[in-house]
Amino acid sequence: MRNVWVICRKELNSYFVSPVAYLLLTMFAIIFGFFFWNAVQYFNAASLQSQMSGQAMPMSVNEYVIRPLLSNISVVGLFFIPMISMRLFAEEKRMGTIELLATSPIHDVEIIIGKWLAALMLYGVMLLFSAVNFAFLFRYGNPDWKPLAIGYLGLLLQAGGLLAIGTFISTLTKNQIIAGAATFGVCLLLWVLEWPAGSDTATWAKVLAYMSVITHFDSFSKGVLDTKDAVFYISLIFVGLFLTSRSMESLRWRS
């Protein structure tokens, strides 16, 4: 456990001494700020309309602002995750520092979890920037905080799964760009798998949709903690980290 923290701290440190973390945070803050402004505009317009038409429509901040915004983050996250995970192992391999880690009295699993945890923490910091926007809703409106908390939990679980896959891909190459591009491809694929289910109700479409990371976020964005979806993300994390450990071991046998 101590070793995991040693690695994790070092990774966080290298995110924040390089421009990577600041670039990601700034981009996310701008993009999410835009989404937020847009959602609030829409909400205002809709509530004005419902007042003018005379029929009091039920207007919920949770339903009309928070939920679509959480879904937005889950999709936008797909674009940010490769940038977070791509350097984890590719950089160590390129600089030869993997030899230091691999010849230190520390288990592969500790290295892998430490790195993955640092990536997840950076993603968590990124989510904090969205929380700043949400704080305004609580200041001027009266939304329920529980669905938002569950939504954030879902975002972290989803990112955990994708980051685990990204970590695995990062062990396969010395080149960060290749690792990033491949992870991005996988992330996109895991997103669009749900599309056929929109027009087709056949079993294969359902299976594909089940494999999509976005499908499983629906319940979280509604504020519902569904075990089935949580288990999906947790399994994804385990699969990703397991593949990473196998890949690291094969690195020793092949290199």
Partner 1 sequence: MIKVQGLTKRYARTLAVDHISFEVTKGQIVGFLGPNGAGKTTTMRILTCFLPPSEGTATVAGFDVLEQPMEVKKRIGYLPETPPVYQEMEVQEYLTFVGRLKGMSGASLAKRVTEVAERCAVADVRAKLIGKLSKGYRQRVGLAQAIIHNPDVLILDEPTAGLDPKQIIETRDLIRSLAGDHTIILSTHILPEVEQTCEQVLIINKGKLVATDSVHNLQARARGAESVVLEVEGRSGVIDSQTIQHRLETVNGVSRVVLKDSRDNRSVFEVESLKDRFIRGDLARAIVESGWNLNELRPSAMSLEEVFLQLTGAEKTSDEKIDAPVPAETVAQGEIQ
The mark string for 226-255 relative to partner 1 (x by CB under 8 A, - otherwise) is --------------------------xx-x
CA–CA dist 111, 93 (Å, integer): 14
Considering the rule CB under 8 A, would residue 1 count as an interface residue with partner 1?
no
Considering the rule CB under 8 A, would residue 109 count as an interface residue with partner 1?
no
Q: What angle do CA 57, 61, 66 make, to 5 degrees?
A: 135
Closest distance to partner 1 from the beta carbon of 100 (Å): 4
Closest distance to partner 1 from the beta carbon of 17 (Å): 5
CA–CA dist 219, 129 (Å, integer): 23
Amino acid at 41: Q
CA–CA dist 116, 118 (Å, integer): 5
Which residue of 56, 96, 139, 142 would you call a contact of partner 1, by CB under 8 A?
96
Which residue of 21, 27, 106, 109 would you call a contact of partner 1, by CB under 8 A?
106
Q: How many CB atoms lie within 10 A of CB 215?
A: 19
Percent helix, strand, coil in the chain (nearest 5)? 85, 0, 15
> Interacting stretch for partner 1, rule CB under 8 A, among 8-16, 22-30, 82-90, 181-189?
8-16
CA atoms within 13 A on the CB side of 120: 24
Closest distance to partner 1 from the beta carbon of 13 (Å): 8
Closest distance to partner 1 from the beta carbon of 172 (Å): 17
Judged by the rule CB under 8 A, the positions of this chain that interact with partner 1 are: 3, 6, 10, 13-14, 17-18, 95-107, 252-253, 255
